[in-house]
Amino acid sequence: MSSKKLQYERPVIQKLNVGLMNKFGTRTEYTPLTHIDGNSVRDLLGKFGSPLFVISERTLRRTFREANRAFKTRYPKVQFAWSYKTNYMNAVCNAFHQEGSWAEVVSGFEYEKALNNGVPGNKIIFNGPDKTEAELKAAIANNSMIHIDHLDELYLIKELAMESNKKPRVAIRVNMDTGVYPMWDRFGFNYENGQAWDAINKIMLNDKMELVGLHAHIGTFMLTPSAYGMAASKLSHLALEIKKKYKKSVQYIDMGGGFASKNTLKGSYLQGIDASPTFDQFAESICTSILNAGFTDTDLPLLILETGRALIDEAGYLLGTVVSNKRLSDGRRATILDFGVNILFTSFWYDHKISPAQEFSQYTEDAVLYGPLCMNIDVIRENITLPPLKRDDHVVVHSVGAYNMTQWMQFIALRPAIVMIDKDGNSHIIRKRETLDSIEKDEVLPKYLKDFKL
Ligand SMILES: *Cc1c(COP(=O)(O)O)cnc(C)c1O
């Protein structure tokens, strides 16, 4: 029996919604999510602490197979390469490697991570504008695919090739007009103005390098499959012209990543689940373009995909706990959660779906969801209709698998643990909750600052 006195809260009169429909029919956000792959949210939080990131390995593998199938049923030679920066937890990377993915990295740090995970050097694609001389040397020695971003890099590789007994395997990144604006033209060489051809000629006329592929990554969270069709046509055209002029075939065309996940962009009229194209639509657009470009059977290039967010977003959840409720000056309900924008970066551009993790009444109220940071920008959702939640209730944020676990910031609190639930429903910790020690391990306090008297 509890003898605790109920706390007083000043009453307010506020409109509650009862069983209303929104413009899309029933409000799916009102379904509680009490379990993830058979694990109770309450138990997970009890065991690993709150907040907590959870990755469903079942969803990860199912999504990968769906994407792989969409391409393999349409094109004879398909290879996925996991985009490390989208989520480089080793457990996540290795699950994709077990599914057959190569590695796609954009920095020396990620390159080392891929090697450490056991990916053979010749199955690592090295992208990005800033590869150091030492990193390029390692990539050449390991026969990795080096995707050249600019002429300075091209000249440096040429120089390194002269000192090496290995012939660097290079590709160029090509940017182009695909009908989607603003155009992504800061990476790679432009197609329309001839930069791409200039780079190709400089590589082909030099016998120290081998041009193995052509690469494009036309944007991120792309909602238009036809843009990929156009990009695939332009890369195919380059490949066919190279064949005509130099009698050499490029081995692959790499279409990059950027397929939208099922998240809902802020300000979007439609929910992401309705607005985002399927893998089949992207695959149809890309494969049709390449198949109809005019390659002979034997010259048909390998099709590489570096899909990131669309493969991992849905597999990720963020579990958390209500800290408190308050009324804003205009009477709106504000609910404060124990996770902030520092660990949920994607809340800046998505209206994440958020579900209560326990049963609730049929009443709902519009609310603002805040994080716990002492910062005005710490808003998880500006406006959401939820059943009124109380202190210690739990919530689940959906589709957070992409970018949050790589872009998160340690700020005034320790970053949470990450747990993976395997296909049999067992939970495995894949990144421990940070501790004061783990954060301070890299700090150095000069001796003379050790002591003070107050
Ligand atoms: C970030 C990135 C990807 C993955 O992009 P998504 O939008 O996550 O699919 C693929 N390729 C390159 C070169 C990238 O920079």
| Choice from 92, 106, 235 to test ligand 1 binding pocket (greatest atom count within 8 A of CB) | 106
Residue pair 273/216 in contact (Cβ under 8 Å)? The answer is no
308 pocket-lining for ligand 1 (C-beta < 6 Å): yes
Residue 271 confidence (pLDDT) = 86
- Residue 127 CA to residue 108 CA, distance in Å, equals 10
Q: How remote is the CA of residue 219 from the centroid of ligand 1, in Å?
A: 8
In contact, 180 and 222? CB cutoff 8 Å: yes
pLDDT value of position 257: 97
Q: What's the pLDDT score for residue 4? A: 74
Ligand 1 centre distance from Cα of residue 230 (Å)? 18
- Please report the pLDDT score of residue 28 as a whole number: 46
For 430, the token pair is 């894949």
Place 94 in a pLDDT band, splitting at 50, 70 and 90.
Answer: very high
Cβ–ligand 1 contact at 173 (below 6 Å): no
Calpha distance 100→122 (Å, rounded):
14
Q: What separation in Å is there between the alpha carbon of 104 and the centre of ligand 1?
A: 9
CA of 6 to the centre of ligand 1 (A): 52
Ligand 1 pocket residue status of 257, Cβ below 6 Å: yes
Compute the distance between CA of residue 32 and CA of residue 42 in angstroms, rounded to an integer: 12
Q: How confident is the model at residue 23 (pLDDT cuts 50, 70, 90)?
A: low
Q: Is the pLDDT of residue 111 over 70?
A: yes
Which residue has better confidence, 256 or 183?
256
CA 218 to ligand 1 center in whole angstroms = 9
The answer to whether the CB of 105 is under 6 A from ligand 1 is: no
pLDDT band at residue 27, thresholds of 50, 70 and 90? low
Structural domains for the chain = 35-54+315-437 (2.40.37.10), 57-313 (3.20.20.10)
Would you say the CB of residue 316 lies under 6 angstroms from ligand 1?
no
Dist CA 205 CA 54 (whole Å): 51
Q: Is 306 in the pocket of ligand 1 (CB under 6 A)?
A: yes
**Rounded CA separation 417/30 (Å):** 27
pLDDT classification of 93: cutoffs 50, 70, 90:
very high
Q: Among the listed ranges 174-183, 284-293, 400-409, which one has the minimum average pLDDT value?
A: 174-183
DSSP string over 60-124? HHHHHHHHHHHHHTT-S-EEEEEEGGG---HHHHHHHHHTT-EEEESSHHHHHHHHHTT--GGGE
User: Residue 213 CB: number of other CB atoms within 10 A?
Assistant: 22
More confident call, 22 vs 202: 202
* CA 400 to ligand 1 center in whole angstroms: 16
Cis peptide before 51 (omega within 30 of 0): yes
d(CA 209, CA 191): 21
Is residue 1's pLDDT more than 90? no
Percent of the chain past pLDDT 90, that is, above it, reads: 85
| Ligand 1: centre distance to CA 144 (Å) | 18
Q: Residue 147 Cα, ligand 1 centroid: separation in angstroms?
A: 13
336: nearest Cα among 361, 364, 373, 384: 373
φ, ψ of residue 162 to 5 degrees: the values are -70, -30
Tell the residue number behind the tokens 């599914």, with chain if given: 99
Mutating to test ligand 1, I would choose from 215, 221, 306 the residue with most ligand atoms within 8 A of its C-beta, which is: 306
SS3 14: coil
Q: Are 171 and 213 in contact (CB under 8 A)?
A: yes
Is there a contact between 44 and 32 (Cβ–Cβ < 8 Å)?
no
The contacts of residue 54 (CB under 8 Å, 6+ apart) are: 36, 39, 44, 316, 317, 318, 319, 418, 419, 420, 421, 427
Residue 421: the pLDDT is 98
Which residues lie below 8 Å from residue 6, measured CB to CB, with a gap of 6+? Answer: none
pLDDT of 314 strictly over 80:
yes
Q: Which token pair is 111?
A: 């390159």
Q: What is the mean pLDDT of residues 328-347?
A: 95
- Taking the CA of residue 402 as reference, the ligand 1 atom at the shortest distance is 8
Q: How far away, in angstroms, is 392 Cα from ligand 1 center?
A: 38
Q: 104: Cβ below 6 Å to ligand 1?
A: yes
Radius of gyration of the chain (CA): 25
Query: What's residue 25's pLDDT?
Result: 52
Mutate to test the pocket of ligand 1, among 88, 96, 101, 104 (most ligand atoms within 8 A of CB): 104
pTM of the entire structure? Answer: 0.94
User: Residue with structure tokens 């769906």?
Assistant: 66
Per-residue pLDDT, 364: 87
Tell me the average pLDDT of the chain: 94
345 vs 339, 349, 352, 379, CA distance in Å?
A: 11, 8, 11, 11
Confidence (pLDDT) at 268: 83
The finding on whether 256 has its CB within 6 A of some atom of ligand 1 is yes
Indicate whether residue 86 lines ligand 1 (CB < 6 A).
yes
d(CA 211, CA 167): 10
pLDDT digits (tens, 9 = 90+) for 342-376: 999 999 999 999 999 998 877 889 999 999 998 88
CA distance 173 to 180: 18
pLDDT, residue 337, reads 98
The SS3 call for residue 351 is coil
**325 CA → ligand 1 middle, Å:** 38
**Mean pLDDT throughout 390-394?**
96
- β-bridge partners, 397: 318, 354
**Residue 209 confidence (pLDDT) above 70:** yes
Residues facing 126 on adjacent strands: 105, 146
Looking at residue 441, its amino acid is: K
What ranges in 147-291 are assigned the alpha helix state H? 151-163, 195-204, 225-246, 272-275, 279-291
- Using a 6 Å cutoff on CB, does residue 85 contact ligand 1? yes
Q: pLDDT band at 241, cuts 50/70/90? A: very high
The answer, yes or no, to whether residue 336 has pLDDT greater than 60, is: yes
Choose among 172, 176, 175, 162: nearest CA to 200.
172
Q: How far is the CA of 304 from the centre of ligand 1 (A)?
A: 12
140-199 pLDDT, tens digit each: 999 999 999 999 999 999 999 999 999 999 999 999 999 888 888 889 999 999 999 999
Residues 276 and 262: their CA atoms lie apart, in Å, by 6
Sign of CA dihedral 340, 344, 349, 350: negative
* Residue type, position 25, single letter: G
Share of the chain above pLDDT 70, in %: 96
Cα-to-centroid distance, 166 and ligand 1 (Å):
28
Give the number of the atom of ligand 1 that is nearest the alpha carbon of residue 306: 10
- Using the atom order of ligand 1, give the atom closest to the CA of residue 173: 13
